[in-house]
Amino acid sequence: MRNKRLLMCLVIAILAFIVVPFCVNAEDKTIKIGAMYPMTGRAGLYGKDSVAAAEMAIDEINGKGGVAGYKIDATFTDSKVKPAYAVRVAKRYITEDEVDFLFGVVSSGVGLAVTEISQQYKTIFIGTDHASTRLTVDNFQPYYFRVSNNTFQSMTAGALYLKELAETKPWKKIAFIGPDYAYGHSQWDEIRYNLDRFGVEYEVVGEYWPKIYAPDYTSYITSILKDKPDVLISGFWGGDTVAFIKQAQAYGLFEKALYFHPDAGGNYELMSAMGAELPDGLVLGARHYNNWPDTELNRNFVQEFKKRTGRFPTYAAEGAYAGIYAIAHAVEVVGNPDDTEALVKALEGLKIKLPEDPEGFTSYIRPETHQITQVMAIGTTMPNEDFPPAKKMLGNWKIYKAEDLDPPAEYIEMKRKK
């Protein structure tokens, strides 16, 4: 009897040793994401919207049982829009929290810093909002992927718009104003490259480089008025766009030059902040719109975000939402979040239907750059009260094919040689 009891105890112990860890592991199968976004200041709304949209996507995926037997879990940290600080957070995420993916960031300066950590530790970094083309062309590395438009795509669409405009409303002189770091300089280089590529004749009469979050643009505005450009190309983003337009309007700038802002000008933040004071006729672009495309997927995304947060989303939200679904797609293909090289291959073959895709088109990653390729739209400000507190929205859309917007092979080769 004693031997039987000993044997039974031994069997129970062995089963406990095997089964209990198995059960714990089954319950703890998690895709760990380390995300960084700004939470305060002029960029704070972008961070808050990104977090809300990422959490919305996570809830949708986990609510359906997760992906490949894994649930998604994300940790969010304030990036403070400081590259050095973001680098420390990224290293902590990788070495201490053992995340499977780095995720997010709004500033291109922060993105360029974090991509170095991604490459160093061979950890995939999903970029959801920052737009400098340097991350996918000049500084290309195998573990970085971006799921929102970059500046080259926006500036190509912008150059095509200006080419078409010249045929109906002739213009000649252009000036540029944008933030004095990678994001602003990329836009200015790329709009000129594409105007030249498309054979558009123009004369540059001024270029201006305020620091990010500059409080007062008066000196720049008065200089622009003296330059008398036909078209003022802007490279601002976020609260800087709002601040500049408010100040420039007081000087009558928009009555003297076409305000043209193809990358981040058409963000809903501008519409909601300015209300009825937003001038008609500004030509703006963005990475996602609440009122285009008019598809069921986009309407559902916008309304669900509004339901969760009480406000309509800025474009940053859709990028974060897309990033979570991109991770889910890659893990589903590979079967786990641990095989980094297989996940890279899966992301290089990514095709994913997103809220900003019009009917008949599906976003996809271009393997040579790890950059998502999407249709782009540019619109004009006009009365529209369907998305309060905004009183103006974009309309009179000009649509540009995705395949026409990527940098050509010779451009990529030239930049990478440098």
Give the side-chain half-sphere CA count within 13 A for 89: 28
Q: Which residues pair with 30 in a beta bridge?
A: 71
Using an 8 Å Cβ cutoff, are 124 and 56 in contact?
no
Using an 8 Å Cβ cutoff, are 271 and 387 in contact?
yes
Q: Name the residue with tokens 């890659």.
A: 330
β-pairing, 392-400 vs 144-146, is unpaired
Where does residue 317 rank: exposed (0-12), middle (13-18), buried (19+ CB within 10 A)?
buried
Topology of domain 152-292+376-417, per CATH? Rossmann fold (3.40.50)
Which two three-digit tokens encode residue 261? 């802002």
Q: Is the pTM of this model over 0.85?
A: yes
Tens digit of each residue's pLDDT, the chain (418 residues):
444 454 444 444 444 444 434 333 445 799 999 999 999 988 899 999 999 999 999 999 999 999 999 999 999 999 999 999 999 999 999 999 999 999 999 999 999 999 999 999 999 999 999 999 999 999 999 999 999 999 999 999 999 999 999 999 999 999 999 999 889 999 999 999 999 999 999 999 999 999 999 999 999 999 999 999 999 999 998 889 999 999 999 999 999 999 999 999 999 999 999 999 999 999 999 999 999 999 999 999 999 999 999 999 999 999 999 999 999 999 999 999 999 999 999 999 999 999 999 999 999 999 999 999 999 999 999 999 999 999 999 999 999 999 999 999 999 999 998 7
One-letter amino acid at 276 equals A
Indicate the domain borders of the chain.
Answer: 27-150+294-373, 152-292+376-417
CATH of domain 27-150+294-373: 3.40.50.2300
